Structure 1
Amino acid sequence: MSLRSRRSTLPRRHGRAVAVLLTASLALVPAGPALAGPGGDGERALRARLQELVDRPDGPPGAIAVLRDGDRLRVYRAGVAEVGTDRPPRPTDHMRLASAAKAFSGAVALRLVDCGLLGLDDTIADRLPSLPAAWGSVTLRQLLNHTSGLPDYSAAPDFVELIRADPHRVFDSRHLLDFVADKDLGFDPGSRYQYSNSDNIAVALMAEAATGQRYEDLLASEVYQPLGLTQTSLPSDYQLPEPYLHGYDVEPGSPTEDVSTLFGASGSWASGGLVSTPKDFSAFMAGYAGGPLISDATRRQQRAFVPGASEPAGPGTNRAGLAIFEYTTRCGAVYGHTGNTAGYTQLAVGTPDGRRSLTLSVAEQVNQKGNPDLLAHLRAVEEDFVCALLADH
């Protein structure tokens, strides 16, 4: 049955998907990437590692990894882009970025810091006086590194009830924080780390307040255009551009269900609503993790890390910076972000020099709450690909 027709109620499996989703949620344009075909023992080993994920009874129907070195792409894939076909995942397939979208709101904010329109110590009271006064002392810096204490709107009972009743509901994205406007901060700002989807909603609202421009337009001017991203967008509805990597709910013993369009994007907005392709995603992370998208001075602030893992946790040891995470693996450290939502799990990392990046995308939601064993397997595979990325240095 098409999920597009199921707007009034959710089957039990999709109710589970809602619960997991809501607790998790310069000229830099290359001349034209050349796709390099894998070859050699190391390349075959990486392909085999990706295939192991797909071959698990609880594994994703499709997976794709893209290693970028300048304008050269190496593509690894396993499984299919759509169940019932033999079409492999491609670097030009659209997909949901989930919480990796937080890196994009971070990029917008840090670009505005660079040009003096925002300051990392600007507070909610300064920039967003219409938000609760109890939140007023929270700074942009604390929003970006998840030490703000803001209550998570995506866990609010009223929000959960609405999205359960109609997963395709179009929310007023700029009023998502209204769902928790009656809540105090969870802790003193800056005192500890706690991942919250509310943080990046507030970041986008600060950016709008500082510029008088819509966040969607700021994404275009501050991120898409400088990095040459042509297949990245922030939709308000549930549809995906063609072609796309289909995302699935996988439960051993039950039919695999396509949940690519189960949820609309307006309910996650700057916190998780972006749609992109592996090709664009890898170009973004190369520029954001180490390239000239932001200044050296701002990048030093970005890389002031505190203990804290992304959601889901990425490879190796995780530490949180300003809308970016440090992943220290057995082969060295890289910088990036993860994400998970119904049908998709994402990792994108870049090297400190901004030349090389890795994206690894699987067509299933994988996190600690839903399937810890599969997440452990995925993190091990991610680490192998990080080692391949760093070996090219």
Structure 2
Amino acid sequence: MSRHRALPALAALSLLLAALLAGPAPAAAPPPRDVIDPATAQRLDEAVRDAMAEGDIPGVTVGLWKDDGWAYERSFGTSDTATGAPMNADLHTRIGSVTKTFTVTAVLRLVDQGAVALDAPIGRYVAGVPGGDRITVRQLADMRSGLHSYTEDPAFLAAYQKDPHGSWTPRQLLDIAFKHPADFPPGARWEYSNTNTVLLGVLVEKVTGRTLAAYLQDEVLRPAGLADTVLPAGATIPSPYAHGYTDLGGGGKPTDASGWNPSWAWAAGAMTSTLDDLHTWAGVLARGKLPDGTLLLSPGTQIDRLVMLPTGYPGVGYGLGLADVNGWLGHNGELPGYETIAARLPQEDAVLVVIVNSDIDGDHGNLATLVGKAVTQVATPAHVWSLPSAAQPNGTPSPAQPSPSR
């Protein structure tokens, strides 16, 4: 796959000089692609390598850009422990709950088209939702519906662990969730629930008469120029891709989960993407504007999206399908084998993307956050990406850590 951005000749010369002054790149890794002073590049390289060593991370790709032309793009480690192939910025990856930003954007497009009302009850559009006459579309998007997350159901967890290659339909997932009583009355508090976003995906299909994947392609992905982002069918992941490693079901040993079926996450976490596309998307998401400056969402809808309500965790707010983490607007994602961050910091016109090919978090809470924190401590010390462990919905489905997706 060819890169869709190229550095001008002068920038390329600066890149070469920076690489020489900062020391050799990791063995067998692709050359760095950035426009940044050598001292800062070296500090960032060291921060990422230290985080990788601390978290025993096989491979990482990091992108950090500022609108004034400042850019840092690096890949470290391996994308495939069986072959030793290096991590690469062009590789496709599973993005987990960054998917939620796309699904909610699809719903907001329908709001702008007059087909959906944010404060209408979900029961107007989807039948059979317990309390559906009182739960609003807005409460689903901002995680305040009270609906129990199907990913915390013991029977689901057992079935998933028995066969991670199995296929799940949205209806099956909702049926699991709806067997449980509501966790709290609608709007009473914030609680992360994958059920909310799966239900919003069903809403899109009911209202449009189209598949969520098709609607996303035409109304979100194509307008944003995201040619390498997709909601796949089944276990498909486009090539070339990073292999992802998990300790789920591996007897404590890393297992390659890249071929596992993410259909259980669907609208809440099944999409795949690349560094370049996530760079573009983080800007579109935070601004509500496409790369050419035209609006993806109306100004009023974008304002609604960015109303950040408290989550109960310091420095963390949540709007309509995106979070505010110490000023960074975006989302993180995790599912077996993969962790991701895609966010924009308006105060410094910066975008951060972190891609990690492991979810073996150990005591770190989240490996992508470990890397993101290390990078932002250097580059944006007034706005450090830092999610408290308690604020991170667990990323691997096990009895102790019940939620397979962030």
Give, in angstroms, the shift of residue 291 of structure 1. Answer: 3.9
Residues 68 and 357 in structure 1, CA contact (< 8 A), matched pair in contact too: yes
Aligned to 2:119: 121
Aligned to 1:78: 76
Of residues 359, 362, 369, the one that matches 2:356 is 362
Q: 1:373 and 1:363, CA in 2 relative to 1: closer, same or farther beyond 3 A? A: closer
Residues 59 and 374 in structure 1, CA contact (< 8 A), matched pair in contact too: no
Q: 1:370 and 1:236, CA in 2 relative to 1: closer, same or farther beyond 3 A? A: farther
Give, in angstroms, the shift of residue 208 of structure 1. Answer: 1.7
Give, in angstroms, the shift of residue 373 of structure 1. Answer: 8.4
The separation in 2 between residues aligned to 1:364 and 1:146, in whole angstroms, is 26
TM-score (norm 1): 0.80
The separation in 2 between residues aligned to 1:353 and 1:113, in whole angstroms, is 28
Residues 338 and 347 in structure 1, CA contact (< 8 A), matched pair in contact too: yes
Matched, 1:175 2:172: yes
The separation in 1 between residues aligned to 2:90 and 2:210, in whole angstroms, is 29
SS in 2 for 1:78: strand
Of residues 196, 202, 207, the one that matches 1:205 is 202
Between 157-166 and 136-145, the greater mean CA deviation after superposition: 157-166
Give, in angstroms, the shift of residue 249 of structure 1. Answer: 2.8
Of residues 295, 300, 311, the one that matches 1:297 is 300
Q: 1:54 and 1:115, CA in 2 relative to 1: closer, same or farther beyond 3 A? A: same
Aligned to 2:41: 43
1:346-393 CA distance string (max 9 Å, x none): 1110244997422111111165x86438677445225336618989xx
Residues 135 and 184 in structure 1, CA contact (< 8 A), matched pair in contact too: no
1:128-164 CA distance string (max 9 Å, x none): 12333x3431111111110100111112233223222
The separation in 1 between residues aligned to 2:240 and 2:323, in whole angstroms, is 30
Aligned to 1:345: 339
Say how many residue pairs are matched.
Answer: 347
Residues 288 and 354 in structure 1, CA contact (< 8 A), matched pair in contact too: no
Q: 1:71 and 1:178, CA in 2 relative to 1: closer, same or farther beyond 3 A? A: farther
SS in 1 for 2:97: helix
The separation in 1 between residues aligned to 2:348 and 2:232, in whole angstroms, is 28
The separation in 2 between residues aligned to 1:191 and 1:255, in whole angstroms, is 41
The separation in 2 between residues aligned to 1:44 and 1:370, in whole angstroms, is 27
Q: 1:122 and 1:65, CA in 2 relative to 1: closer, same or farther beyond 3 A? A: same
Q: Quick one: which amino acid aligns to residue 304 of structure 2? A: Q
Give, in angstroms, the shift of residue 69 of structure 1. Answer: 5.0
The separation in 1 between residues aligned to 2:239 and 2:369, in whole angstroms, is 31
SS in 2 for 1:179: helix
Q: After TM superposition, list the pairs within 5 Å mapping 1:258-337 onto structure 2.
A: 258-261=256-259, 263-292=260-289, 293-308=296-311, 317-328=315-326, 333-337=327-331
Aligned to 2:376: 383
Q: Quick one: which amino acid aligns to residue 381 of structure 1? A: A
1:248-282 CA distance string (max 9 Å, x none): 1369x975432222x31211100110011111112
The separation in 1 between residues aligned to 2:222 and 2:347, in whole angstroms, is 21
TM-score (norm 2): 0.77
Matched, 1:249 2:252: no
Matched, 1:153 2:150: yes
Q: Quick one: which amino acid aligns to residue 255 of structure 2? A: E
SS in 2 for 1:213: coil
Aligned to 1:90: 88
The separation in 1 between residues aligned to 2:37 and 2:123, in whole angstroms, is 56
Q: 1:356 and 1:114, CA in 2 relative to 1: closer, same or farther beyond 3 A? A: farther
1:60-91 CA distance string (max 9 Å, x none): 10111113456976312221222244543222
SS in 1 for 2:238: coil
Q: Quick one: which amino acid aligns to residue 280 of structure 1? A: D
The separation in 1 between residues aligned to 2:348 and 2:274, in whole angstroms, is 19
Gaps of 5+ in 2: 8-32, 290-295, 385-406
Aligned to 2:28: none
Query: What is the aligned-residue identity percentage?
Result: 27
CA RMSD of superposed structures (Å): 3.0
Residues 360 and 382 in structure 1, CA contact (< 8 A), matched pair in contact too: no
Q: 1:179 and 1:87, CA in 2 relative to 1: closer, same or farther beyond 3 A? A: same
Give, in angstroms, the shift of residue 202 of structure 1. Answer: 0.9
Give, in angstroms, the shift of residue 341 of structure 1. Answer: 1.2
The separation in 2 between residues aligned to 1:119 and 1:229, in whole angstroms, is 27
The separation in 2 between residues aligned to 1:285 and 1:376, in whole angstroms, is 16
Q: 1:376 and 1:203, CA in 2 relative to 1: closer, same or farther beyond 3 A? A: closer
Q: 1:205 and 1:231, CA in 2 relative to 1: closer, same or farther beyond 3 A? A: same
